[in-house]
Every structure is written in structure tokens, then in C-alpha cells.
A and B are shown apart, each in its own frame.
Chain A
Amino acid sequence: MARATRSGTRVDTVVLAACLFASLIARVLPSETRQAFAGPIRETFIGPLISLQVQAERARGAFISRDITAARLDSLVLRNAELREMELDNERLRALLGLGARLRSGFVAAEALHRPEYGDAHTVIVTAGARAGVVVRSAVVAPEGLIGYVVSVEDETSVALLWTHQDFGVSATSADGRVFGIIKPHQGDDVERFLLELRGVAFRDSLAAGTEIRSSGMGSVFPRGIPIGTVVGDITTPGSYSRTYLVRPMVMPADVSVVMVLLPSAVSVENAWRAPTTDSLRRAINSFGDSVTRAARRDSLQKALRDTLPPARRDTVPPARRDTIPDETTVRRP
């Protein structure tokens, strides 16, 4: 028994020594030979394990890069949203530019600052005041149509009442001038809260859905011809003496950031909203661009002339050459 155990121990020792010797041989083999041994092992025995390792490393890489990817995605989404806002602003400004070109004079462009406070959603602060010629009851418009009117004026700013306020009202007519009435905000619930009503329409007159409603010019507050909205349908209640129509407004005040305040001198604005074509808008923008280019060219020409020509003389006496004037330091005093 003891002999068998000793024999077994000897065998174990020999095997261990053989393993260690083989390992040392493998360690000192030339690089090509080591590759020749390692390659087949890699390709056969542990091939599936290597693919497992590759998958694990990919998973780890994906896990690590997840936050970075999410941050990049968030930035892109944010930038995309900003670009969309800029695009809308650009469109609105282009439209405003076109409207300004058509109005020619009698208006002042300003920004509309919405008040975030609850309960004050029916007014906006307009960044143009008395110094710009704004007076109380000046109409506030956007390229699409009427927004409201000025209710108080400071030197630099003014406050405009929006059409959503219950006190708002404007004398209106159909685009063809056939039907007249008074536009008031519709006191409905939810979505209908943002609609208008055309009240006081005579029973003999009827309006089809889609008919455009504009300011009539009566009452001397709003000039004639400012678009207000389009007829949605008849909401006349039984027993009333006149018709009432629901009107979808041309402009949602919340969407407006740049407005135009019509000054008292703007008497006739009707043609400004007469279905402007794309060509006319483009011409207006191009003409504006041309005028800017011309002004820039004029400035550069003047600058170039200033740089190249001698300064204008104040008198006819030619200026003395500097080298002919005796310097004080060189003049000898007696």
C-alpha cells in the first residue's frame, strides 16, 4: 500500500515536471513556432469562446457608449427643435417683411412678449411705445391677420389686448363686403375657447363655411381689410334676432413673437393683405435685399473715396508743406 502510494506520488511528480518542462519549452520557443501552436488552439478549441468574448466586449462597449449616445441624441433633438423654431421665425419674419413692403408706411415692427403668469394670457407686451408713434387703440397685426389692439402705452413699450379677451371686439365684414357684423371672442370650453364669433349678422344674410372675415373699418379703431378669420359654421340660437357665426381666427396669439403696430397714419391697409403671391413676396424680399446691398456698396465706396482722396480743404490757401515750415526747435532765437 505504502509502495503504491509512493509510486503514485512519483508519477504525479513526473507528470508535474513534464508539464512544467513543456511550459518552459513553449515559453522559449521562437515566435513563429509559438504562433503555430497557439493558432490551431485559438481556431479550434476556443473559437466559440472567442466569439463569446467578442460579444461580451461589444456589449460592454454598447453599455459604455450608451450615455454618450443618449447625450448626443438629446443634443440633436434639442438642436432640431431649435432649428424648427428658427425656421418658423424665419418664415414669420419673411412674411412680416413682405407685409411691411406692402404697407410701405404707417406701421412699426415690434416684438410681442407673452406674459407667463397665469390669468394674464389675454395681453402681450409690445416692444414699441409712444416714442415710436404708438397710441392707444392702435391695431396690432401679424402677417396672417389681426391679433388685438393697444390698450396702454409707455415710452418704450405698450400693452396690447388680444382677441381672446372678452372685452375685445371689432367691426367686421365678409371679404366681399356683403355681410357685416361684430367679431367677439367665443366663450366656449376647451378648444372652442380659441375661436371667434361673428355676431349681429342680419337674418337675410348668410355666410358659407370658409368665407374670409376682415375688419370693416367702421369705428375708426381698425383700418378696413385686416384679415380676422374664416367662417366655421352657423351657431345662431333659436329665438335670436340675428345670426351668429363661429369663426376660426387667422392668428393664434400664442404663436406670435413678432408683430406690427399700425399707426394712426395707416389709413388704407386693405391692399396689404390682398392675397400676396409668392412672387410678390419674393420681389419684396429681393428688393429689400437689394437695398441693403446697395447701401453696403455705397458705404464701401464712400470709405474707399475717403481713403484715397485728400481731405477737403477749408479754404483756398494750399496747405504749407511740412518740410518748408521751420521747426520751432530748429529756429535759432536771437
Chain B
Amino acid sequence: MTAFGFLKGVGVFLLLLALHFLIRPLIGTRISIDFLIIAVLLAAVHVRPGVAAIIGFAAGLIADSLTPLSFGAGALAMSAVGSGASWLKAAVFGDNVLAQTVFFGAGKIAFDIIYLVVEGRLGISGLPMQLLVWTPLSALATGLAGVLVVFTFRISMESRP
């Protein structure tokens, strides 16, 4: 990875972090685009699973700092998703739009499942509704947004060691 590529990656990561706090409150619906997931997954493709886990852990802590009652749940889910994505990066088929959409969407679904289970805030009645309705819709939105980010910033999705 070149220095320019590294800086570009850091810039995109920070931009997505800002968008996460800017766009989601602006839209304000339960179907939300998770820019933090997109940022972690984009980073995970280009780093080793251990580093991806650390990036996910940091991003999760940032998100958790706003919800102290579920502190740690986001870090755990994001670590697992980041590390898993880094291990599965071989399955991301380069510039295949559909595969990328599924990649981002699946990352969002995995994150939500782990987060909601670990957090344990939603009961038996609320959890299925969230996981069967809102999470898939949010995953779709996140997948499309992720592809848009990839094409906008011309980010290579080729796996690197």
C-alpha cells in the first residue's frame, strides 16, 4: 500500500465517521445507513484480521461512548465483524457490485445480530421485529451506500495480505 493510498484510506475513514454522525440524525428514520460499518469493512479489506479487529474495536468504542448503558456491545460486534470481514476478504469479488452490496449488507446484519444479542435491551417481542424488518432494510441501505462510497472514491476492493 502506497502512502497516498494509506492517507486516502484514512481520509475516507474519517469522512465516513463524520457522515455517520451527520447523515443518520438528518434522516432520522429506523432504516439507517451505518457508515461506521462501511468504514470498518473498507478498512478490513486492506488489513490483516488482527488489525481489522483493533479498528473495529476502536470504532465500536466510539459508537458505545454515546450509549454508556450498552458500552462494550458495539466494540465486541464491530471487532468480530471487522475481523471476520478481513478473513473473508477473498470472497469479495473485486469490482462486482452485487458482491460488494452483499458484503456491506451482510456486515451490517452480522453487526446488528451480535450487537442486539449482547446488548440484550430488546426483549423477545422487539428483537424479531428489529432483526427481520429493520435490520434487513438498513442492511440494504448500508450495502447500497457502501457501493456508492467505493465508486465515488474509487476504492479498490481487491484483497491484500
Residues of A within 8 A of B (CB): 8-9, 11-16, 19-20, 22-29, 31, 34-35, 37-39, 41-42, 45-46, 49-50, 52-53, 55-57, 59-60
Contacts and interface: CB of A to CB of B under 8 A. Distances in A.
- In the complex, the 9 A-B pairs of residues with the closest C-beta atoms, listed nearest first: A26-B72, A27-B72, A23-B76, A15-B50, A12-B50, A41-B65, A19-B79, A12-B49, A56-B25
A8 B25 contact: no
B65 A53 contact: no
A52 B61 CA distance: 18
B18 A52 contact: yes
B50 A41 contact: no
B118 interface: yes
Instruction: Label chain B's interface by main secondary structure.
Output: helix
B28 A27 contact: no
Given A11-B50, A15-B50, A49 B17 contact: yes
Given A23-B60, A56-B26, A8 B21 contact: no
Contact of A19 (B27, B69, B75, B86): B75
A23 B72 contact: yes
Interface residues of B, number: 38
A16 B53 contact: yes
B100 to A, nearest CB: 23
B17 A26 contact: no
B23 A16 contact: no
B97 interface: no
Contact of A8 (B23, B48, B62): B48
A167 B94 CA distance: 91
Contact of B22 (A22, A41, A42, A52): A52
Contact of A56 (B22, B71, B72, B76): B22
Given A16-B79, A28-B72, 13 more contacts: A16-B83, A19-B54, A26-B72, A27-B71, A27-B76, A31-B68, A35-B68, A38-B66, A38-B68, A42-B66, A46-B21, A56-B25, A60-B25
Contact of A20 (B17, B71, B80): B80
Contacts of A53: 21-22, 25
A73 B113 CA distance: 46
B137 to A, nearest CB: 19
21 contacts: A11-B50, A15-B53, A16-B49, A22-B57, A23-B57, A24-B76, A26-B64, A27-B70, A34-B72, A37-B65, A38-B64, A41-B65, A45-B62, A46-B21, A46-B66, A49-B17, A49-B18, A52-B18, A56-B22, A57-B28, A59-B26
A59 B69 CA distance: 27
Given A8-B48, A52-B21, A41 B62 contact: yes
Contacts of B69: 31, 34
A25 B70 CA distance: 12
A200 to B, nearest CB: 76
Contacts of A15: 49-51, 53-54
A24 B117 CA distance: 13
Contacts of A29: 71-72
B24 to A, nearest CB: 8
Nearest to B68: A38
A27 B64 CA distance: 10
B122 to A, nearest CB: 16
Contacts of A13: 49-50
B107 interface: no
A50 B56 contact: no
Contact of A49 (B21, B50, B72): B21
